[in-house]
A and B are shown apart, each in its own frame.
Chain A
Amino acid sequence: MLLLAVVVFNFILLSLVPGDIADTLAGESGGASQEVMDDIRRTYGLDRPFHIQLATYVGKVVQGDLGTSYYFNMPVTELILGRVAPTLLLVVTALVLAILIGTLFGVIASRRPNGLFSHFVTVLALVGFAAPVFWTAFLLIVLFVAMLEIMPLSGLVDPTTPRGTFSWYLDVLHHLFLPVLSLSSIYLASYSRLARASMMDVLGSDYIRTARAKGLGETSVTYKHALRNAVIPVITIAGLQFSHIFSGAVVVETVFTWPGLGTLAFESILRGDTPTIMGILFFSAMIVIVVNLLTDLTYRLVDPRIRSARNA
């Protein structure tokens, strides 16, 4: 239901954009007669009334057909599936790193709230909040590509590396490094701040005093009794921010010409490739919904209160 609403909304929104595929093609070939333009519009069904176009599109989407890309002249579904893997690799790696390292930073900082590391986390969070993704990305490029010359500038993998070999995977990781770092830095910063605050809160609670009164050492107290409670807000925020990180991926992919959905989306907008844009939007909505489900499942694993509240 929600997905259907997304489809309709996207369709209406994109139909408001001036110009269509005929204008684009005509522009690319340096002008075309009205007859040719009409012909193109007829081929793509653009001459029919708006509500018929909408109904046709929705009907196809329901059957899993996202239409045909104007530019690539191939099914959008196929096009998207070919680009999903690099995007998921980028986004999931960035998210997991941000959560793991951010939480770890937060935990370490919380153990000495006035220590040097704690202040470092505060500053990091401030910088991370303030810096736009593309700025971080360019800064990293200047540092690692231009000055140190140890990282590749763009792409998924060096095309001369034989596909599927061990060195191919290594090369992908090598190419992944800078995009992941750019994308995860903001979230890493905000999660470490969140984890620090959450840990300090939990460490002051009664059940932590109970754990100490049982004779547990600080390591058990911190990593067993406190951490599991302290990650709950981090999971909540990470789940809520997933669509945010997804849109950040568009910027990062474009900067590093990472061959994922983000680059495809960006280029398709420039090309006026409406079916592809709508396909990507639809697909992204689906992923966000799936991620929400996953977040829910993680919750249940971590927090028994939610487990029984939902079962009841």
Chain B
Amino acid sequence: MEAAAPLLEVEGLEVEFRTRQGVARVLDGIELSLEPGRTLGIVGESGCGKSITALSIMRLVPVPPGRIGAGAVRLKGEDLLQASEKRMREVRGKDISMIFQEPMTSLNPVYSIGDQIAETVRLHEGLSRRDSLDRAIEMLKAVHIPAAERRVREFPHQMSGGMRQRVMIAMALACQPSVLIADEPTTALDVTVQAQVFDLLKELQEKTGTAIILISHDMGAIAEMADRVMVMYAGRIVEEAATDEILESPRHPYTRGLIACVPHMEEEPPPERGALTEIPGVVPALTDLGSGCSFAPRCDHATDLCRSRAPQPFAVDADHRAACWLYGEAGTA
């Protein structure tokens, strides 16, 4: 498993947003690498840049006010940030697909779900109307929607949130993409439906070998699904390691806070899973991040060094990095 070539690689990604308060550095030095068939979890509090990371990979960051300042997003070696818009339209929905947090509003209310799935297939595979509708029915069956032949003609408002998210998954996987980005796919759903959606994603991943980037603010969800975890804070990666490793020995004080917030991960899902607000303090404004560690105001271990210089990612173990002065010294790394 170790030597599989990366399917998707992100290097030194920087994204800025121009806001009324000034320029916000929303992403700073994001690195990630995803292997075929694996699942990478991205976790962090709301506003830390998870969605913008996903949208940058799809090159769907709204420009303006946003701007991808630097970096590379390589899909099988091809840098998507340098690709033409036309090429990106081929990539979106075919090589990389995305599902979103809000199943209630992510489908177009005036078209039937069959039309919406078929549209993707027609666009990327040039199938006829008839054949693409057949594919839509096939996909609805694959995501376990009962009476697919009938429901393919229904409209989004006739379905529940969980059903709509299944439709989104069916649509995203209709062209067998190599990467699926799931941005908080279950946050808007209730707990039993959450579990069903995760089971479905796992099942489909086993069948198709699609690599998944699963974004969540819920460490419990990530623990269930991901092979590797990337923890984000204020637009940066603060810790990264294999899931088991992170859960067993989290190093960064922020990650420790996150894990402490998930009381009993192995037991029945508690009614309110892992809300991260239990770490005291708030995420700093991205427009005036100082030169120090952005977690310092909330960190029990903060020193003068922390407040004056931002730590770079230090290797704490083989294949485990943490951006925290507790694990390195100025001048090393």
- A residues with a Cβ closer than 8 A to B are 205-207, 209-217, 225, 228-229, 302-305, 308
Contact with A along B145-178 (1 / 0, CB 8 A): 0000000000101100000000010010000000
With A210-B100, A213-B58, A308-B157 known as contacts, the answer to whether A205 contacts B105 (CB < 8 A) is yes
Known contacts A212-B60, A214-B92; is-contact A308 B108 (Cβ 8 Å): no
- Bound: A215/B112 CA distance, A: 19
Are A305 and B89 neighbours in the complex by a CB distance under 8 Å?
no
Q: How far is the CB of A204 from chain B (nearest CB, A)?
A: 9
**Is B202 positioned at the interface, with any CB of A under 8 Å from its CB?**
no
Chain B residues, CB < 8 A from A217: 89
Q: With a CB–CB cut-off of 8 A, which chain B residues contact A304?
A: 109-110, 112, 155, 157
The listed residue (B102, B119, B155) touching A214 by CB distance below 8 A is B119
Residues B100 and A215 in contact, CB atoms below 8 Å apart: no
Q: Distance in Å from the Cβ of A195 to the closest Cβ of chain B? A: 16
Give 18 pairs: A residue, B residue, CB < 8 Å, sorted on A: A206-B100, A207-B106, A211-B108, A212-B92, A213-B60, A213-B92, A213-B93, A213-B98, A214-B92, A214-B93, A214-B123, A215-B89, A215-B90, A225-B108, A229-B109, A304-B109, A308-B155, A308-B157
Are the CB atoms of B105 and A206 closer together than 8 Å? yes
Determine the distance from Cα of A123 to Cα of B93 in the docked complex, in whole angstroms. Answer: 40
| Beta-carbon contact of A229 and B93 below 8 Å | no
Residues of chain A lying within 8 A (CB to CB) of residue B158: 308
B107 within 8 A of A: yes
Name the residue on B nearest A308 (C-beta): B158
Q: Indicate if the CB atoms of A215 and B108 lie closer than 8 Å.
A: no
Q: Which residues of A contact B60 (CB under 8 A)?
A: 209, 212-213
Within 8 A of A (CB), among B69-103: 88-94, 97-98, 100, 102
Given A209-B60, A214-B93, A216-B89, 5 other A-B residues pairs in contact with their CB atoms under 8 A: A210-B107, A216-B119, A225-B111, A304-B109, A304-B112
How many A-B Cβ pairs are below 8 Å? 70
- The distance in angstroms between the C-alpha atoms of A216 and B94, with both chains bound, is 11
User: Bound complex: CA of A213 vs CA of B96, how far in Å?
Assistant: 9
What is the CA–CA distance of A213 and B107 in the complex, to the nearest angstrom?
12
Per the bound structure, the CA–CA distance linking A215 and B174 in Å amounts to 13
How far does the Cβ of B188 sit from chain A's closest Cβ, in whole Å?
A: 11
Residue of B nearest to A303 (CB): B110
Residues of A within 8 Å of B91, CB to CB, are 215
Contacts of B100 in A (CB 8 A): 206, 209-210
B120 beta carbon closer than 8 Å to chain A: yes
Min Cβ gap A306→B in Å is 10
Measured in the bound complex, the distance between the Cα atoms of B90 and A212 in whole Å is: 11
What 10 pairs across the A-B complex have the smallest Cβ distances? A215-B93, A215-B92, A214-B93, A206-B105, A304-B155, A207-B108, A206-B106, A213-B98, A215-B89, A214-B120
| CB-defined contacts of A210 to chain B, threshold 8 Å | 100, 106-108, 168, 171
Say whether B124 faces chain A, with CB atoms less than 8 Å apart. yes
Residues of B contacting A229 in the complex (Cβ-Cβ under 8 angstroms): 108-110
Alpha-carbon separation in the docked complex, A225 to B110 (Å): 8
Residues of chain A within 8 A of B110, CB atoms compared: 228-229, 302-304
Please report the C-alpha to C-alpha distance between residue A304 and residue B88 in the assembled complex, in whole angstroms: 32
B92 CB, min distance to chain A CBs, angstroms: 4
Residues of chain B lying within 8 A (CB to CB) of residue A308: 155, 157-158
Which chain A positions have C-beta within 8 A of B168? 210
- Bound form: Cα–Cα A303–B110 in Å: 6
Chain B residue nearest in CB terms to A208: B108
